[in-house]
Amino acid sequence: MTETSSGAVLVLGGARSGKSAFAEGLVTASGLLRHYIATGRAFDEEMRERIAHHRKDRGDGWVTHEEPLALAARINEMARPDRAVLVDCLTLWVTNLMLEERDMVAEFSGLLDAIKTAPGRLILVSNEVGLGIVPDNRMARDFRDHAGRLHQKVAALVPEVYFLAAGLPLKMKG
Amino acid sequence: MTETSSGAVLVLGGARSGKSAFAEGLVTASGLLRHYIATGRAFDEEMRERIAHHRKDRGDGWVTHEEPLALAARINEMARPDRAVLVDCLTLWVTNLMLEERDMVAEFSGLLDAIKTAPGRLILVSNEVGLGIVPDNRMARDFRDHAGRLHQKVAALVPEVYFLAAGLPLKMKG
Amino acid sequence: MTETSSGAVLVLGGARSGKSAFAEGLVTASGLLRHYIATGRAFDEEMRERIAHHRKDRGDGWVTHEEPLALAARINEMARPDRAVLVDCLTLWVTNLMLEERDMVAEFSGLLDAIKTAPGRLILVSNEVGLGIVPDNRMARDFRDHAGRLHQKVAALVPEVYFLAAGLPLKMKG
């Protein structure tokens, strides 16, 4: 937890808080080659619309990868000193892991290792989901717990953390 | 989005975060005539109680207007150089627009124009609603999306933005 | 509301935001004797697991008290100049009061008096729950209102307030 990754950033925020646009701005500002890892899966029309909408917002000049599960391996594969890799988002990855009943401890540990060793810039976007009323169902509570624990681990590791609200970044670390 | 309104403020926060009291304090501190635009509609007893409670908290010296839908027109009508106009709140206005199936793009655009040209002080209160678990129903998800997009647009336009928690303001911009 | 308690701190945050660990760090850093007041009641297996998990995280060197309801009296009894007392958490206490249909105004007033007069260090942990979609049921809405009002009162009283996200503290006051 004391080791610090050099080029990684965590961008946290609520729904429609502007976190993806802010993260894309960090990538563009880096001047590096732009790679995008989408963790969401298009199960239904609404999700397809949201993904298409995000892709349109990003514009040209991006190489897009879809990776719902093997995120650590994909980061290891994609990260290069001349690339900025944007992962959008960790919470959808957690959802996918839960649906597949993966071992969260092992998965999180693998991701942290990938973050530690990634060259270039690595921008991780995630949703803060723990600031509402306790959800009625156990799965949603477990999801909040997993997401929150992952955010703590990633935030302890990376040198820069932002919290977004209304499109405005608040620097929490760095 | 680069044009900046001179006297407008966005006050964001959660339920019972003290955002209305903080916004009222901004109005009082301005020394201007106090106008209040309430966007909420009293559908039921609970809502009537909440509105009466807010009105009692404000005390005397306010002129209160009720405007559930035509917010831009009402701001255009009420704003004067010698007045501070408090709008409470944008999220209830978004709810009303959705229930009436209005064109959100046109409505938001109209509001942004009204904010840009309003003389005097204009204080806009809104609820941050995007930091909990993704809601089960589509309408609640759409509401979160509309509210979040509106917050981003307003925050980009106005020179001052605050985020309230436990009655304490955090300056996000300005 | 203008009187200020000398050694009290409010630690607010979402689920799994790291607020308990941060609060425990404040206690340890004080060098005082460590006392812990747990307000949660173990109704079911999940809650028992969560409580056991918290206790294990704290480690040795703590005296633990369980107090679901008479929190003010317990603080009056436990607080000493050579002790740091951690209350985890106010929101579970509010839940317990609601289930027992207690008079919230009187209970909150009693707690505020206990905070004002407590010698030593007093660290109060609480969940921010007002930043999601408005809940469907009245009891959850009332809970949000009670919790939010209590947070405002406590935050106005104590000299230090932190908001935690992803394990990172944001100083709101002090």
DSSP track, B22-74: HHHHHHHHHTSEEEEEE-----SHHHHHHHHHHHHHH-SSEEEEE-SS-HHHH
User: How far apart are the C-alpha atoms of C60 and A125, rounded to whole Å?
Assistant: 37
Tokens of C95: 């839940």
Mean pLDDT of A66-86: 97
Which residue shows structure tokens 């917010």? B71
Q: Give me the pLDDT at residue B6, please.
A: 65
Q: Give me the pLDDT at residue C3, please.
A: 43
Q: Which residue has the higher pLDDT, B47 or A121?
A: A121
Please give the mean pLDDT across all residues of chain B: 93
C139 vs A: CB within 8 A: no
User: How far apart are the C-alpha atoms of B110 and A22, rounded to whole Å?
Assistant: 26
User: How far apart are the C-alpha atoms of A126 and A23, rounded to whole Å?
Assistant: 10
Query: Does residue B54 carry a pLDDT above 80?
Result: no
In this prediction, what percent of chain C has a pLDDT beyond 90? Answer: 83
- Minimal C-alpha gap between A127 and chain B (Å): 8
Residue C115 is classified by DSSP as: H
- DSSP H or E segment with residue B13: strand B8-13
Which residue shows structure tokens 């963790």? A39
Task: Confirm or deny that B19 is annotated as ligand binding.
Answer: yes
| Pairing verdict, β C83-88 and B168-173 | unpaired
- Preferred mutation among B57, B131, B143 to probe C, highest tally of C CBs within 10 A: B131
Query: Does residue C4 carry a pLDDT above 50?
Result: no
Q: Give me the pLDDT at residue A4, please.
A: 44
Per the document, the length of chain B is 174
- Any idea which architecture A8-166 has in CATH? 3-Layer(aba) Sandwich (3.40)
User: How far apart are the C-alpha atoms of B130 and A109, rounded to whole Å?
Assistant: 28
Q: Per residue, what are the HEC states of chain A?
A: CCCCCCCEEEEEECCCCCHHHHHHHHHHHHCCEEEEEECCCCCCHHHHHHHHHHHHHHCCCEEEEECCCCHHHHHHHHCCCCEEEEEECHHHHHHHHHHCCCCHHHHHHHHHHHHHHCCCEEEEEEECCCCCCCCCCHHHHHHHHHHHHHHHHHHHHCCEEEEEECCEEEEEEC
Query: Does residue A172 carry a pLDDT above 90?
Result: yes
Tokens of B151: 């917050």
Q: Looking at chain C, which runs of residues are DSSP E strands?
A: 8-13, 33-38, 62-66, 83-88, 121-127, 160-165, 168-173
| Pairing verdict, β B168-173 and B160-165 | antiparallel
User: How far apart are the C-alpha atoms of A9 and A11, rounded to whole Å?
Assistant: 6
Q: What is the pTM of this model?
A: 0.93
Q: Give me the pLDDT at residue A6, please.
A: 65
Dihedral angle sign, alpha carbons of residues C140, C146, C149, C153? negative
> In this predicted model, what pLDDT tens digit does every residue of C7-57 receive, in sequence order?
899 999 999 999 999 999 999 999 999 999 999 987 778 777 877 777 777
Q: Helix (H, G, I), strand (E, B), or coil: what is residue C152?
A: helix
Cis check for the bond before C89: say yes or no (omega within 30 of 0): yes
Asked if C14's CB is within 8 angstroms of A148's CB, the reply is: yes
Confidence band of A18 (pLDDT split at 50, 70, 90): very high
Amino acid at B49: E
> In this predicted model, what pLDDT tens digit does every residue of B77-100 receive, in sequence order?
999 999 999 999 999 999 999 999
Q: Please state the separation of Cα C82 from the chain's center in Å.
A: 20
Q: Give me the pLDDT at residue B2, please.
A: 39
- Minimal C-alpha gap between B61 and chain A (Å): 32
Query: Does residue C99 carry a pLDDT above 80?
Result: yes
If phi > 0 it is left, if psi is from -120 to 50 it is alpha, else beta; for residue C34 that is beta
Task: Confirm or deny that C88 is annotated as ligand binding.
Answer: yes
| Pairing verdict, β A168-173 and A160-165 | antiparallel
Asked if B165's CB is within 8 angstroms of C134's CB, the reply is: no
Of all residues in chain A, the one with the smallest CA distance to B150 is: A166
C172 vs A: CB within 8 A: no
Q: What angle do CA B54, B59, B64 make, to 5 degrees?
A: 65
Dihedral angle sign, alpha carbons of residues A45, A46, A49, A51? negative
Which residue shows structure tokens 């100049």? C81
Dihedral angle sign, alpha carbons of residues A48, A54, A55, A56? positive
Q: Which residue has the higher pLDDT, C59 or A154?
A: A154
**CA nearest C84: which of C30, C125, C38?**
C30
Catalytic residues of C: 54
* Domain spans in chain A, listed from the N-terminal domain onward: 8-166
Q: Give me the pLDDT at residue A59, please.
A: 76
User: How far apart are the C-alpha atoms of B46 and C6, rounded to whole Å?
Assistant: 39
Tokens of C102: 């207690």
> In this predicted model, what pLDDT tens digit does every residue of A2-17 receive, in sequence order?
344 568 999 999 999 9
Q: Give me the pLDDT at residue A3, please.
A: 43
> In this predicted model, what pLDDT tens digit does every residue of A97-114 receive, in sequence order?
999 999 999 999 999 999
Mean pLDDT of B130-150: 95
Q: Give me the pLDDT at residue C93, please.
A: 97
User: How far apart are the C-alpha atoms of A109 and A153, rounded to whole Å?
Assistant: 9
Chain B environment of C170 (Cβ under 8 Å):
170
Q: Give me the pLDDT at residue C6, please.
A: 65
Mean pLDDT of A112-141: 96
Q: What strands lie across the sheet with A160-165, from one edge to the other?
A: A62-66, A33-38, A83-88, A121-127, A8-13, A160-165, A168-173
Chain C environment of B133 (Cβ under 8 Å):
132
Confidence band of A1 (pLDDT split at 50, 70, 90): very low
**CA nearest B54: which of B72, B29, B68, B37?**
B37
User: How far apart are the C-alpha atoms of B59 and B49, rounded to whole Å?
Assistant: 16
In order of B24, C86, C165, the CA distances from C173 in angstroms are: 20, 19, 16
- Preferred mutation among C2, C94, C124, C131 to probe B, highest tally of B CBs within 10 A: C131
B35 — phi, psi (to 5°)?
-120, 140
Confidence band of A29 (pLDDT split at 50, 70, 90): very high
Cis check for the bond before A89: say yes or no (omega within 30 of 0): yes
- Minimal C-alpha gap between C65 and chain B (Å): 27
Q: Give me the pLDDT at residue B15, please.
A: 95
Mean pLDDT of B132-143: 94
**CA nearest B147: which of A125, C117, A68, C131?**
C131
Chain A environment of B155 (Cβ under 8 Å):
166-168
Asked if A147's CB is within 8 angstroms of C16's CB, the reply is: yes
Confidence band of C94 (pLDDT split at 50, 70, 90): very high
Poorest-pLDDT segment among A9-23, B30-44, C1-15, C126-140? C1-15
Please give the mean pLDDT across all residues of chain C: 93
Poorest-pLDDT segment among A29-38, B3-12, C8-17? B3-12
